[in-house]
């Protein structure tokens, strides 16, 4: 029986949890949009905006479709490329914040879900490290959102695959959301619509495989001169081409050096310890789950889905974040669409407080998943710089 159906009394919203989540999300959204506005006003970032502008002017290549869309819309409307990209990024960010908050309310926001949602690998990750924010995985996250609302799910049945196809066409890394998205579909539709469920799973897996296959086939170009000229001719600085666009002419070679530097014992240990600590909220959430082996297997499948990314690119913090977002969406789906009484068991106050303090103080750098100051010190530093002109962090 699904929570929210007739005859099933929904538990009350815990006011403390709603207040905490509302405060964290409000501050995080303000910081993220402030950072985005600064980036757009200062010529854009070579990765944060440049990756969205990879295009096909130098030839057929992975990720290029999105850039062609931006070029066409900009030419047709007269809107500058950077404001256009920034506007799309802002809409996606606000939509994801809003839908996660709405989903949390639908789930009645138990302690265990709250501790996942305030993780520094979720939305505050974007506030802590702006270089890891505004990337094309925003489109991959968008594909989970239609699964959250209650109802018969007819819209979700076609909208989820469409959004996932758009995400994979924009960036091949989104293909690695496929296992998590399939688990989400299984939870959302349960035993009520087995044919729809299996059809969606098959389509999602096919999109992921085809998209990744295309990315391998068209992974690089001899040069990206025409690609960059298409942007500079429309008023952008050549510096916008110095990140993701530059990598299109030698992606494997470009990544090999940084990966070699990252694969030392210290970096591996630091990243593993940080990730392990930040998995504590997930472990707490599922501590009393029935069918423990089933959920461990599902978690392993979702985690394994992202493992190839660690071998090909140094943005380990982003890959950690993609896993945590997946865990958050799956936990919300369980709380919304199943009874899952075990999720509503309160967390002991001392444990709750300790995890909350850790989540506020510890941050994750997108490069290598290395530790950095967390949400609370970063926000305090921004406030100090604005109010007294002196920062608290180096």
C-alpha–C-alpha distance, residues 386 and 382, integer Å: 6
Say whether 61 sits in a helix, a strand or coil: coil
Which whole number is the average pLDDT over 97-124?
97
What pLDDT is attached to residue 6? 41
What pLDDT is attached to residue 11? 64
**Is residue 8 in a domain?**
no
Residue 339 DSSP class: -
**Is residue 262 in a domain?**
yes
C-alpha–C-alpha distance, residues 293 and 151, integer Å: 29
C-alpha–C-alpha distance, residues 360 and 66, integer Å: 35
In DSSP notation, 261-327 reads HHTSHHHHHHHHHHHHHHTHHHHHHTTT-SSHHHHHHHHHHHHHHHHHHHHH-S-HHHHHHHHHHHH
Angle made by CA atoms 204, 207, 211, in degrees to the nearest 5: 145
Give the per-residue SS3 of 37-55.
HHHHHCCCCCCCCHHHHCC
**Is residue 19 in a domain?**
yes
Label residue 291 by pLDDT band (50, 70, 90). Answer: confident
Count Cα atoms within 13 angstroms, Cβ side, for 103: 26
**Is residue 5 in a domain?**
no
C-alpha–C-alpha distance, residues 328 and 238, integer Å: 38
Element (H, E) at 363: strand 362-364
Over 90: is that where the pLDDT of 196 sits? no
Q: How far is CA 5 from CA 2, 334, 336, 340, in A?
A: 6, 14, 10, 14
- Token representation of residue 342: 């075990």
pLDDT digits (tens, 9 = 90+) for 228-276: 999 999 999 999 999 999 999 865 545 555 556 655 666 778 888 999 9
Burial of 286 (0-12, 13-18, 19+ CB in 10 A): buried
C-alpha–C-alpha distance, residues 319 and 310, integer Å: 7
Task: Provide φ and ψ at 373, rounded to 5°.
Answer: -55, 145
Q: In 3D, which of 387, 371, 392 has the Cα closest to residue 129?
A: 371
How many Cβ atoms are within 10 Å of 140's Cβ, its own excluded?
27
Count Cα atoms within 13 angstroms, Cβ side, for 217: 7
Cα dihedral across residues 161, 163, 169, 175: positive or negative: negative
- Token representation of residue 12: 């009350």
What pLDDT is attached to residue 261? 61
| Cβ pair 123, 168 in contact under 8 A | no
Is pTM beyond 0.85 here? yes
What pLDDT is attached to residue 145? 96
pLDDT digits (tens, 9 = 90+) for 125-135: 999 999 999 99
| Number of domains present in the structure of the chain | 1
| Structural domain boundaries, residue 261 | 15-387
Query: With b meaning 16 or more CB within 10 Å and e meaning fewer, what string describes 158-186?
Result: ebbbebbbbbbbbbbbbbbbbbbbbbbbb
Burial of 253 (0-12, 13-18, 19+ CB in 10 A): exposed
**Is residue 7 in a domain?**
no
pLDDT digits (tens, 9 = 90+) for 54-86: 999 999 999 999 999 999 999 999 999 999 999
**Is residue 214 in a domain?**
yes
**Is residue 294 in a domain?**
yes
Residue 241 DSSP class: G
Average pLDDT, the chain: 92
**Is residue 6 in a domain?**
no
235: alpha, beta or left? (left if phi > 0; alpha if psi -120 to 50): left
Bridge partners of 371, per DSSP, are: 364
Report the DSSP pairing between strands 362-364 and 371-373. Answer: antiparallel
């Amino acid at each position: 029986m699904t929570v929210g159906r007739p005859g099933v009394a929904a538990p009350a919203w815990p006011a403390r949890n709603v207040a905490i989540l509302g405060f964290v999300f409000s501050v995080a959204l303000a910081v993220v949009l402030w950072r985005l506005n600064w980036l757009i006003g200062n010529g854009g970032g070579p990765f944060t905006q440049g990756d969205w502008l990879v295009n096909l002017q130098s030839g057929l290549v992975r990720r290029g479709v999105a850039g062609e869309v931006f070029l066409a819309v900009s030419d047709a409307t007269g809107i500058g490329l950077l404001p256009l990209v920034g506007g799309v990024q802002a809409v996606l960010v606000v939509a994801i914040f809003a839908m996660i908050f709405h989903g949390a309310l639908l789930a009645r926001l138990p302690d265990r879900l709250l501790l996942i949602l305030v993780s520094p690998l979720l939305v505050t990750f974007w506030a802590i490290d702006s270089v890891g924010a505004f990337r094309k995985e925003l489109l991959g996250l968008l594909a989970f959102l239609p699964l959250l609302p209650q109802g018969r799910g007819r819209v979700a049945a076609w909208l989820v695959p469409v959004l996932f196809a758009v995400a994979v066409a924009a960036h091949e890394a989104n293909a690695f959301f496929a296992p998590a998205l399939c688990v989400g579909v299984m939870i959302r539709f349960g035993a009520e619509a087995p044919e729809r469920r299996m059809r969606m799973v098959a389509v999602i897996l096919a999109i992921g495989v085809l998209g990744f296959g295309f990315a391998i086939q068209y992974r690089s170009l001899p040069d990206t001169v025409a690609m960059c000229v298409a942007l500079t001719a429309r008023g952008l600085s050549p510096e916008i081409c110095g990140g993701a666009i530059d990598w299109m002419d030698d992606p494997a070679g470009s990544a090999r050096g940084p990966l070699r530097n990252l694969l030392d014992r210290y970096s591996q240990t630091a990243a593993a310890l940080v990730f392990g600590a930040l998995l504590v909220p997930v472990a707490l959430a599922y501590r009393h789950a029935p069918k423990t082996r089933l959920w461990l297997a599902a978690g392993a499948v979702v985690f394994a889905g992202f493992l190839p990314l660690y071998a090909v690119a140094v943005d380990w913090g982003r890959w950690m974040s993609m896993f945590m977002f997946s865990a958050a969406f799956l936990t919300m789906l369980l709380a919304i669409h199943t009874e899952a009484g075990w999720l509503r068991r309160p967390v002991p106050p001392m444990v709750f407080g300790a995890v909350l303090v850790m989540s506020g103080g510890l941050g994750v750098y997108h490069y290598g998943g290395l530790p950095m100051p967390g949400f609370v010190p970063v926000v305090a530093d921004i406030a100090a710089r604005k109010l007294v002109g002196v920062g608290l962090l180096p």
